[in-house]
Structure 1
Amino acid sequence: MKPGNQTKVVEFLLLGFSQDAQDQPMLFGLFLSMYLITVLGNLLIILAVSSDPHLHIPMYFFLSILSLADIGFTSTTVPKMLVNLQTQTKSISYAGCLTQMYFFMVFGGLDTFLLTVMAYDRFVAICHPLYYPTIMNPQLCGLLVLVSWFISLSYSLIQSLLMLRLSFCTNWVIRHFYCELAQALMLACSNTLISHILLYMVTGLLGFVPLSGILYSYVQIVSTIMRIPSADGKYKAFSTCGSHLSVVSLFYGTGLGVYLSPSTSPSSQKGMVASVMYTVVTPMLNPFIYSLRNKDIKTALWKLLGRMLRVY
């Protein structure tokens, strides 16, 4: 590549979903509604868990951290998309693109680790109930969350620093609604081998290792539940992990579908719709899944709403 074909990148262009100006108001209203529901729903989960002493146990502690991560995850992409839809522009600054990539990787990685930690929590609670208070003590719970944050922050920082070393050609168009790392690497003129190797390794690790841990936990959980003699006992055991299993299926089903489907590229229209499913729709549905399927959460939410209404 000749030096004349390289220049200092100032901004990227995010093509997004539609080139038709008539569709922009409808898309703006749709994504604004989804974003507000996501933030409000997850915020209510956090407030309900923190305000109800009965929910100060590991399962709900991890749920509140997951809700916080979901707010951050969707906030990295949707607000900028809403601004571009409202102003009918497609630009994002170079610094803004790198910042968006960094936090997207942080909260995306954190989601995968937290879902794995929650599966381990259910595994201990159902398979080793007598040792549950000893194993899942506050120190271990805090350590698991800190390790999840540390790994997510470290990988995201390394990948972002590698991005800073790259030079870009005159083509700065990203065919997505957010700064997708793999597509940004394709626009670089300099050598991206290390970045691609790291990307594929971490994508495989974040997809395979946590999912393997979750599947192993649920195999053990199902095996233990099936040995429970009473039908009522089996129902109660299944009900404690049903919500988590639904969230795992939704998150991994849509997330892995984007990257593993041979007929769908992330930059295609189908790929972007699938990306919306795990970056926007899944964080929005998580509070509904947990509140509708969990009696304790529903009770805490009604208490919280009652206190809020009395204040006003």
Structure 2
Amino acid sequence: MSASSSSAHLLQAAAAAAGSQSFPASTLYVVATPIGNLADFSLRAVHTLALADAVACEDTRVSGGLLRHLGLDKPLIALHEHNEQSAAAKVLERLARGERVAYVSDAGTPAVSDPGAVLVAQAQAAGYRVMPLPGASSVVTALSAAGCLAGHSGAVGFHFTGFLPAKGGERQVALDALLQQTGATVLFEAPHRIENLVAALAERCAERKVTLCRELTKQFEQVHSAPAAALPAWLAADAQRLKGEFALVLHPLPPAVQQDGDDGLPSDAKRQLKVLLRELPLKQAVALAAELSGAPRNALYTLALQLRSAGGDEEAASGQD
């Protein structure tokens, strides 16, 4: 079967499956696209792109290739993180003319980690309908492979971080905040920074379980779960493991070490720190407590200063008696 014939059959199947549904005019369609495997594209999404008067997209080269694969030729509007405000105005003009406009990012669900949120907000503010078409999401895909939400209440849930900042200071602050989350946390990382990230996790939360997902849905997909301390060695064991796009799930803290105070530290970590402070210098005690407990080092350091200060006050008071 030729490529054109295959595309025609796909469009026919999509029309048969979704053609009886409502696709109103003057509507922005937010369409999730595959994150690696084209077979994950839904028939309703295919039919929506076939009906669209124009397609706004993060990268016209990527989306143009997807449309050609489907046997479609549509006007493309580049709308990415650097021009979203101005490009959104062009989309609104088309909606005002009664057109159907689809928005797709390069891969996955738009307006989460990828661009699209500004466009959606402006379309809603202007009174236009926004219709989401669900599909692939590396966030949910990674969580489903981690198996770490069973038995956890909705109050624990999960937190989506996305990419950490690239710069050292900002990255450190973001990592500190991430490690204070009690529930599962999903984050992304680029291949040239993955070693740096797993090294930081190994140092800061050695015993906490992490599921590392590489190249989700693609031919060389890998999903590996292990304590954070074991991840650097696992990556180093095979150069291929450093290639591709990464999604990581930091598993929830076990109930035994869930945070029990306003300082956001597990009770076990506090007890360990207090014992270590009796025998060791402050910085050394903090470093060892962080390694043993997996608790955030900055939070332990703050607590250590408070404990030392309180101890000093008590000693001073005793000397006055």
> Fold-level match, TM-score > 0.5?
no
Instruction: Give the TM bin, normalised by the shorter chain.
Output: under 0.3
Structure number with the higher helix fraction is: 1
- Normalised by the size of structure 2, how large is the TM-score? 0.22
The structure number with the bigger radius of gyration is 2
- Normalised by the size of structure 1, how large is the TM-score? 0.22
